[in-house]
């Protein structure tokens, strides 16, 4: 563990599904930490640990003569990140580095980088993949868009969360995350189709999944989301609304690059269709959209496990 008195001062803004375990890992690793969250009750576990909890974002990054060296943001979307950056900008010290680990648009990340650079503050867009389990275990894949000298200053801190990789200049991290989410969203839906095909054709979908593992079809999606589908467990590790947002950003990035991505458009439409009823369900709810598209065919016999307030529409 680090000596807290010699570690950089770190602020962590956003204590949601991902932010809470990530900030907890920083504290456990010995970093000097101040946290903030819009909904104050979510910060209570840090109060119990005697971690400094700020009432405002500005106080989280600059209070009582102590200024943050590194500021992490883990927020819902680019608009929220923009609001926070503009809020704290007047109190950021020169030479500080802001690391945004939210999932935003590539164009937004570039804008944040330019704005902060004008105030002599470094910027890194470092979105992650691995879900809540990865955040808790410190095994996240971290895709960082940064100038090399900024990345070198924070790499050791990023390793608390998992495996960081610098993928290019600011904005590149978000692009890499979109590539990740395109593969994730597409594969979730392919796994759902494969398991439902097994069910409809008379095979045991549990046994089919076991048979596929270890072959060329093996993947983390088949392992984790395939099991969730078989258990019909849609309690979120990652939410439908997050995947839907990512799919929209993928299409925007493709448009900016002059690309037509037909499969991405199909997957985006699936997640759009889930938003009205299953916005807060796990990504694996792609199975529910597929079942609604195939009335009378359902994977397994278990009752759907959904977040509070959600009711499944049975075939």
pLDDT tens profile 2-11 = 555 467 999 9
Number of domains in the chain: 2
pLDDT-wise least confident of 4-8, 24-28, 222-226, 235-239? 4-8
What band does 312 get if pLDDT is binned at 50, 70 and 90? confident
Assess contact for 282 and 310: CB atoms under 8 A: no
CA angle 231, 305, 210 (to 5 degrees): 10
Strands 70-73 and 9-13: parallel
Active site (annotated) includes residue 241: no
For 115, residues 6+ apart whose C-beta sits below 8 A from its C-beta are 85, 89
221 and 186 in a single domain? The answer is yes
CA distance 150 to 144: 10
Residue 7 is predicted with a pLDDT of 77
Which of 100, 102, 142, 156 has the alpha carbon at shortest distance from 123? 100
74/216 same-domain check = no
pLDDT value of residue 5 = 46
139 and 241, same domain (yes or no): no
> Residue 3 domain-assigned?
no
Q: Which pLDDT does position 66 carry in this prediction?
A: 85
Whether residue 273 lies inside any domain: the answer is yes
Residues 239 and 101 in one domain: no
CA distance 223 to 157: 29
The total of other beta-carbon atoms located within 10 Å of residue 265's CB is 13
Residue 313 included in any domain: no
Regarding whether 162 and 35 lie in a shared domain, the answer is yes
Q: Tell me what the pLDDT averaged over the chain comes to.
A: 94
User: Which of 177, 241, 245, 314 is the catalytic position?
Assistant: 177
- Give residue 288's domain range: 176-293
> What is the model's pLDDT at position 251?
95
- Flag whether pLDDT at 162 surpasses 70: yes
Residue 311 covered by a domain: no
The answer to whether residues 212 and 104 belong to one domain is no
Provide mean pLDDT across the span 83-102: 96
* Pick from 116, 242, 163: nearest CA to 250: 242
3-class SS of residue 28: helix
Average pLDDT over residues 270-281: 96
Instruction: State the Cα–Cα distance between residues 280 and 276, nearest whole angstrom.
Output: 10
User: What is the pLDDT averaged over residues 37-63?
Assistant: 92
Same domain, 132 and 243: no
Among residues 278, 246, 299, 265, the alpha carbon closest in space to that of 103 is found at: 246
Higher pLDDT, 154 or 237: 154
Is residue 255 situated within a structural domain?
Answer: yes
**DSSP-assigned letters across all residues of 245-278:** HHHHHHHHHHHHTT---HHHHHHHHHHHHHHHHH
- The residue from 111, 135, 168 where one domain ends is 168
Is 163 within 8 Å of 258 (Cβ atoms)? Answer: no
Question: Among residues 168, 186, 202, which one ends one of the domains?
Answer: 168
Q: For CA atoms 136, 138, 144, 148, give the dihedral sign.
A: positive
Q: Report pLDDT for 3.
A: 53
């Amino acid at each position: 563990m680090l000596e807290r008195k010699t570690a950089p001062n770190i602020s962590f803004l956003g204590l949601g599904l991902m932010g809470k375990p990530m900030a907890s890992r920083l504290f456990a690793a010995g970093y000097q930490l101040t946290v903030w969250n819009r909904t104050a009750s979510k910060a209570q576990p840090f109060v119990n640990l005697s971690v400094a909890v700020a009432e405002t974002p500005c106080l989280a990054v600059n209070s009582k003569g102590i200024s943050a060296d590194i500021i992490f943001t883990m927020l819902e979307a680019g608009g929220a990140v923009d609001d926070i950056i503009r809020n704290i900008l007047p109190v950021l010290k020169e030479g500080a580095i802001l690391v945004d680990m939210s999932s935003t648009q590539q164009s937004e990340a570039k804008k944040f980088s330019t704005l902060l650079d004008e105030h002599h503050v470094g910027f890194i867009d470092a979105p992650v993949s691995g879900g809540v389990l990865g955040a808790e275990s410190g095994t996240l894949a971290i895709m960082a868009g940064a100038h090399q000298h900024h990345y070198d200053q924070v790499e050791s801190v990023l390793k608390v969360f998992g495996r960081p990789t610098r993928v290019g200049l600011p904005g590149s991290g978000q692009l890499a995350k979109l590539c990740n989410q395109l593969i994730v969203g597409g594969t979730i839906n392919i796994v759902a189709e494969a398991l439902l095909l097994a069910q409809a054709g008379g095979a045991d979908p549990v046994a089919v999944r076991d048979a596929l593992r270890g072959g060329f079809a093996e993947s983390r999606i088949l392992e984790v989301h395939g099991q969730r589908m078989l258990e019909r467990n849609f309690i979120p590790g990652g939410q439908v609304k997050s995947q839907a947002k990512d799919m929209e950003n993928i299409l925007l990035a493709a448009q900016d690059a002059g690309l037509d991505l037909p499969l991405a458009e199909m997957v985006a439409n699936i997640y759009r269709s889930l938003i009205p009823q299953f916005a807060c369900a796990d990504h694996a709810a792609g199975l529910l959209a597929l079942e609604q598209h195939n009335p009378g065919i359902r994977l397994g016999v278990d009752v759907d496990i959904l977040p509070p307030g959600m009711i499944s529409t049975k075939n």
